Amino acid sequence: EDQVTQSPEALRLQEGESSSLNCSYTVSGLRGLFWYRQDPGKGPEFLFTLYSAGEEKEKERLKATLTKKESFLHITAPKPEDSATYLCAVTGANSKLTFGKGITLSVRP
Amino acid sequence: EAGVVQSPRYKIIEKKQPVAFWCNPISGHNTLYWYRQNLGQGPELLIRYENEEAVDDSQLPKDRFSAERLKGVDSTLKIQPAELGDSAVYLCASSHSGEVIKTEAFFGQGTRLTVV
């Protein structure tokens, strides 16, 4: 069974303090790893898809990387508007989209 | 392009009553998902459709939950009768899935169900 573990559960940063969010996964036949952002009371918003180890993608202050066992979401010089819950999900050979529990990020001004 | 549309946004019902949620996926997306999300948790899959076929419903509590996707477009998720533990946010998502490439899923705003 596919599994996704995210750490830490919660992260508090000062504005401008860079950090990384971790997503560890076990999946049979990885077909894609996805990062989402979720604001309170809203559905998850798609950020990135990574397909193979070594792949990297960037969007504004966010950069996602992928190895054979984990993915990192690096946040450079975060701003208060980056505060949200970040969800990691994987799809394997069974085509099932499995999510982790998410990491709640708070950025203080 | 319109995103995934869900209705209603909020629903409060008494336990043992029935409830239904509706989802209209993004046009052209052949895969449709229903997820349940409890507070502080990640989404958990209830059922996945490829076109009109339910290809994964192993996590759907079939004694009280049912779903349908007529004509492979809109979908309805029903709970009858509802229990207190069913209180959660019900999310619908859709994606375009091929044999090799699995594209990202796009989510609706969700329906927040409160059972009292």
Tens digits of per-residue pLDDT, A15-62? Answer: 999 999 999 999 999 989 999 999 999 999 999 999 999 999 999 999
Say what the pLDDT of residue B99 is: 56
Q: Find the closest chain A residue to B105 by CA distance.
A: A46
Which residue do the tokens 């499995």 mark? A98
Q: Which of A26, A21, A43, A104 is nearest to B107 (CA)?
A: A43
Say what the pLDDT of residue A36 is: 97
Contact assessment for residue B13 and residue B113, using Cβ atoms and an 8 Å cutoff: yes
* pLDDT of B98 higher than 80: no
Say what the pLDDT of residue B2 is: 79
* Residues B102, A31: C-beta atoms closer than 8 Å: yes
How many angstroms separate the CA of residue B45 from the nearest CA in chain A?
A: 7
| Three-state secondary structure call for residue B71 | helix
* Residues B43, A49: C-beta atoms closer than 8 Å: no
d(CA B63, CA A59): 44
pLDDT digits (tens, 9 = 90+) for B8-67: 999 999 999 999 999 999 998 999 999 999 999 999 999 999 999 999 999 999 999 999
Q: Find the closest chain B residue to A94 by CA distance.
A: B56
Average pLDDT of the residues in A65-80: 97
Mutation site for A-interface testing, chosen from B29, B104, B109, B112 by largest number of A Cβ within 10 Å: B104
Q: Does B116 touch chain A (CB under 8 A)?
A: no
d(CA A69, CA A48): 17
Q: The tokens of A43 are what?
A: 């559905």
If one compares B114 and A93, the residue with the highest pLDDT of the two is B114
* pLDDT of A99 higher than 60: yes
* Residues B44, A99: C-beta atoms closer than 8 Å: yes
Query: Measured between alpha carbons, how far apart are the two ends of chain A, in Å?
Result: 41
Q: Does B33 touch chain A (CB under 8 A)?
A: yes
- Give the one of A32, A96, A100 whose C-beta lies nearest to B45's C-beta: A96
- Pick from A60-69, A91-100, B93-102: least confident: B93-102
* pLDDT of B70 higher than 90: no
pLDDT band at B72 (very low <50, low <70, confident <90, very high): confident
* Residues B48, A102: C-beta atoms closer than 8 Å: no
Which residue(s) pair with B5 in the sheet? B24
- Count Cβ neighbours within 10 Å for each residue of A31-66 and write b for 16 or more, e otherwise: bbbbbbbbeeeebbebbbbbeeeeeeeeeeebbbbb
Mutation site for B-interface testing, chosen from A25, A27, A30, A97 by largest number of B Cβ within 10 Å: A97
